[in-house]
């Protein structure tokens, strides 16, 4: 959010929607009325029983218990999340919106929705920890979470979610996947970018193949293993050498199209950009 509020020129550079007109951006969308209605109805149906439960908790003595304080806070975040992942997602699915249509509104909604989800997720982990501590060492609950101390923990999760809202990476809705994506050009073939997320996926699998082979080979030198495990080690070793090439072709559309053009002896021009946060190259095929 700070990018939008205090570094607008950088925001416009990273979320550049000047490649096409608004009418052209609209043409990339894929409206799905049935899915949109389903998500809105599902959100409403799930919200209806949640609100009375929260009212009961806050008006009864249940709120005096640490676990119910956390449950109440989780419930507030759940209702907030439903406004974004249900109502907003359903509305944009019905319209068939992509990120670059009303970009700023989608960016703000994405930041709010993500921060609510993050706060909810952290609090759920905290709730699970309180149950574990209560079973393991009940007296620790009084020292760590009882009374007003619980509000301190809740405040910490709130501060963390607010920090994430201001400084995190923004996700925006796209009807090309009917979900919220960090890449504002998700699913638009005419804007073919190589994203950092794509590079991360490729790097993950390359490291996975290499690490798996190395781990199994190291393990089998000191411990007797079944034959199948030894065979698996050999396969992973092969994959660590040959897997990266396959991963590039499978995961990276730019490389895949480049290979196709290379085989067919077509020319491929690459136009570099400086928009490194979300993408590194714009590829044009002729």
The residue extents of the domains of the chain are 2-181, 196-285
CA nearest to 39, candidates 80, 115, 108, 94: 94
Which pLDDT does position 272 carry in this prediction?
Answer: 41
Total number of residues shown for the chain: 286
CA nearest to 15, candidates 95, 91, 106, 88: 106
Q: Which residues pair with 181 in a beta bridge?
A: 172
Which pLDDT does position 138 carry in this prediction?
Answer: 66
Which pLDDT does position 14 carry in this prediction?
Answer: 79
Which pLDDT does position 206 carry in this prediction?
Answer: 62
Which pLDDT does position 237 carry in this prediction?
Answer: 52
Residue ranges of the chain with pLDDT lower than 50?
A: 193-194, 268-286
For Cα atoms 110, 111, 113, give the angle at the middle one, nearest 5 degrees.
Answer: 65
Which pLDDT does position 33 carry in this prediction?
Answer: 92
Residues 6 or more apart in contact with residue 150 via CB below 8 angstroms: 66, 69, 70
Which pLDDT does position 49 carry in this prediction?
Answer: 85
**CB contact at 8 A, 170 and 113:** no
Domain 2-181: CATH architecture, name and number where available: Up-down Bundle (1.20)
Name the residue with tokens 């400084």.
167
Q: What is the pTM of this model?
A: 0.62
Spatial distance between the Cα atoms of 278 and 266, rounded to a whole number of angstroms: 27
Which pLDDT does position 183 carry in this prediction?
Answer: 80
Model confidence pLDDT, tens digit, residues 91-135 = 999 999 888 888 889 888 888 888 888 888 888 888 888 777 777
Residue 238 parent element (H or E): helix 227-251
């Amino acid at each position: 959010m700070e990018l939008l509020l205090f570094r607008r020129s950088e925001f416009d550079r990273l979320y550049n929607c000047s490649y096409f007109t608004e009418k052209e951006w609209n043409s990339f969308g894929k409206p799905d009325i049935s899915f949109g209605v389903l998500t809105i109805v599902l959100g409403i149906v799930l919200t209806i029983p949640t609100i009375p439960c929260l009212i009961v908790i806050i008006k009864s003595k249940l709120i005096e218990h640490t676990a119910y304080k956390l449950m109440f806070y989780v419930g507030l975040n759940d209702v907030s999340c439903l406004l974004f992942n249900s109502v907003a997602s359903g509305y944009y699915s019905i319209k068939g919106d992509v990120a670059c249509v009303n970009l700023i509104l989608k960016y703000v909604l994405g930041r709010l929705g993500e921060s609510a989800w993050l706060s909810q997720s952290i609090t759920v982990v905290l709730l699970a920890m309180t149950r574990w501590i209560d079973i393991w060492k009940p007296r620790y609950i009084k020292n760590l979470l009882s009374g007003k101390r619980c509000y301190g923990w809740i405040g910490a999760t709130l501060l963390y979610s607010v920090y994430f809202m201001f400084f995190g990476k923004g996700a925006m809705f796209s009807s090309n996947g009917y979900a919220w994506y960090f890449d504002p050009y998700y699913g638009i073939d005419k804007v073919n970018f190589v994203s950092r997320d794509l590079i991360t996926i490729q790097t993950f699998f390359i490291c996975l193949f290499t690490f798996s082979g190395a781990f199994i080979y190291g393990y089998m030198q000191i411990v007797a293993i079944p034959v199948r495990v030894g065979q698996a080690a050999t396969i992973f070793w092969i994959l660590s050498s040959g897997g990266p090439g396959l991963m590039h072709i499978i995961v990276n559309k730019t490389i895949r199209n480049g290979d196709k053009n290379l085989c067919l002896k077509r020319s491929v021009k690459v136009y570099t950009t400086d928009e490194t946060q979300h993408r590194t190259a714009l590829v044009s095929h002729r």
